[in-house]
Structure 1
Amino acid sequence: MFNGVSSGTTTPLVNTPKSTPSTPAGSSSSFGGNIFSNGLNILGSNATEQQTTPSINRSKGINAWQVCPGSINPYPQAFTWSTFMGDEVIAFASGRHVMVYCGNSFVQLLDGHDETITSVKWSNLHGRIAACSRGKIVIYSPVEDEVDNGALKKSPSWIVEQVINSTDEFECMDWNFYGDRLIVGGKTTMIFEGKPILGNQVYKWNMVWKYDNPTPIYLVAYSPDEKYFATVSKFDRLVKVWYRNKPQVRVSLFTPVITIVDPKSTSQTIEDDEEESFSYIYLPHPRSVTSISWRFKDIQSQQRDEFTANVLLTTSIDNV
């Protein structure tokens, strides 16, 4: 039934002569064509003389004014936002795809995954997008398009820069402040470092550190100066704050803390025969931790070797 149209007879809408034959709802004699046509009046051309009724005059037809995307995957880090070319942009995981929006406008759908995406992260400095799923990490980089007049104009579009395959399952990730390091976590924690191979546009990403977690982590966050990163396992009340095993790193900046240095070696040999080694301390909480984040620093005032205070913000299931 649709506005008086039943399966057997047709009820007149507005003073329609009884001699008018019964017509399917999709034909032009009853509704003036497909009711989903762009800008078409729902009553059609045959109802011109019948539009004296005020309620009919207000009917302007049915237009497709918004396309609703799929829902966000149910993971804590399946949504990310940043600024790109002066605009606020968001990216989120929906099934096996990454949806990119600029404000309310849909920009692009990014593919490359065979499994459900668990985490999406935006690099604030270079505009790269990283997404991870079971056994795969895909890094997307922004591209420049050439307009008709020959001038180069940046457009919000991304292409696959590199696909990293693994046997591990990943649930979280984060970029460092400078966009040249990516940390991913799950059953294992890995750090990938990017080295430019074509100017500063294309990077090659290699693993420089790996650690097997006793329990899988589902939250990870880099500090702005890259001196620390924090990890949390699900239903865990202890936040691990990791730091490099170098003399200039002062772990005593965090209070209150319980210092427990991992007795196992956490070093990983990389291509240039250097070793990266990390230890960690615990930040205890009364209940399970639900989110972690570092206080943001302005990129214009940040320097790599400058000492700056790091503030880690956490929340727990007890709302503290």
Structure 2
Amino acid sequence: MNCHQVLSGACNSGDQCFAVGSVEGIPFTAYAAGCNIVILASNFERVQIIPGAVHSYVRIGSLDCSTDTGKIAASYGAEVCIFEPTPLIHTAATTHGLEYRWVQTGKLVADGPITALSWNLEGTRLLTGGKILQLWHQASLYQDDSQPSSGVTFQIGGDKDDKPKQSEEDEPGWICVWQCHTATPAHHLAFSPDGVLFATSGINDRLVKIWYQNK
């Protein structure tokens, strides 16, 4: 296999710091380079660099992209920032067709350092993994606060679920609807295509745990 292209800015070590997504059917690649996020078009042309200066130059530990909505989630320690694509207006024609710019639209804080992220297909739920598994749901801006959220539960056996908890950040939009302490920190996460199941495993696990929603 021959080298196709050399890109400046080395990707962070590990297999959780790069991902492939798509927006309106247009694929793209995103990877973490230090504290920055680099977005590439399908022809590997660099489209945008999201600087990490506003996040105190914290090294990105994990990153994932939605394959439907094009959302990007990146973890900075225990903090996760959500970036969404916005169409560019009055721009010159490009060969790659990825005429979007990603802007930060949300932020959440987990209960510990995050080592893995996974979007569901629609980009409405985000799974964060580390010592604690947490499932975050994008709440509607017009949700009635007088009606408490019912929450969801996942299980693989007789695990006891903790109560849902809202993000401590001032920015509304993402609510923790489920969390679970695992025996070993989760290092690999993946939603099923329909979003009903997700799988987790630790860095040295021989078995993959399959979680399903029972409520």
- 1:124 pairs with 2:67: yes
After superposition, the Cα gap between the structure-2 partners of 1:196 and 1:71, relative to the gap in structure 1 and judged at 3 Å, is same
After superposition, the Cα gap between the structure-2 partners of 1:245 and 1:171, relative to the gap in structure 1 and judged at 3 Å, is same
Helix, strand or coil: the match of 1:140?
strand
- 1:110 pairs with 2:53: no
Instruction: Point out where structure 2 has 5 or more consecutive residues left out of the alignment.
Output: 92-96, 143-171
- 1:212 pairs with 2:212: no
Instruction: Point out where structure 1 has 5 or more consecutive residues left out of the alignment.
Output: 1-65, 247-320
Give the aligned CA root-mean-square deviation in angstroms.
2.3
CA contact (8 A) 1:133 1:171 kept: no
Aligned counterpart, 1:94: 33
Cα displacement (A) at 1:69 = 2.1
Cα displacement (A) at 1:144 = 2.5
Q: Deviations over 1:243-269 (max 9, x none)?
A: 1225xxxxxxxxxxxxxxxxxxxxxxx
Q: Which runs of 4+ in 1 moved over 4 A?
A: none
- 1:235 pairs with 2:204: yes
**Aligned AA for 1:229?**
F
Provide the rounded CA distance (Å) in 2 between the counterparts of 1:136 and 1:122: 16
Provide the rounded CA distance (Å) in 2 between the counterparts of 1:197 and 1:69: 39
Cα displacement (A) at 1:197 = 2.7
Provide the rounded CA distance (Å) in 2 between the counterparts of 1:83 and 1:180: 15
After superposition, the Cα gap between the structure-2 partners of 1:116 and 1:188, relative to the gap in structure 1 and judged at 3 Å, is same
CA contact (8 A) 1:187 1:215 kept: yes
**Aligned AA for 2:195?**
E
**Aligned AA for 2:47?**
V
Following superposition of structure 1 onto structure 2, how do residues 65-76 of structure 1 map, counting pairs within 5 Å? 68-76=7-15
Q: Which has the larger radius of gyration?
A: 1
Cα displacement (A) at 1:147 = 1.8
Provide the rounded CA distance (Å) in 2 between the counterparts of 1:166 and 1:231: 17
More helix by share: 1
Provide the rounded CA distance (Å) in 2 between the counterparts of 1:179 and 1:167: 21
**Aligned AA for 2:30?**
A
Provide the rounded CA distance (Å) in 2 between the counterparts of 1:92 and 1:165: 21
Provide the rounded CA distance (Å) in 1 between the counterparts of 2:6 and 2:140: 38
Using structure 1 for the length normalisation, give the TM-score: 0.50
Following superposition of structure 1 onto structure 2, how do residues 129-208 of structure 1 map, counting pairs within 5 Å? 129-147=72-90, 155-197=99-141, 204-208=173-177
**Aligned AA for 2:128?**
V
Count of paired positions: 173
Using structure 2 for the length normalisation, give the TM-score: 0.73
Provide the rounded CA distance (Å) in 1 between the counterparts of 2:133 and 2:179: 6
Aligned counterpart, 1:83: 22
Cα displacement (A) at 1:184 = 0.7
Cα displacement (A) at 1:84 = 2.9
Helix, strand or coil: the match of 1:161?
strand
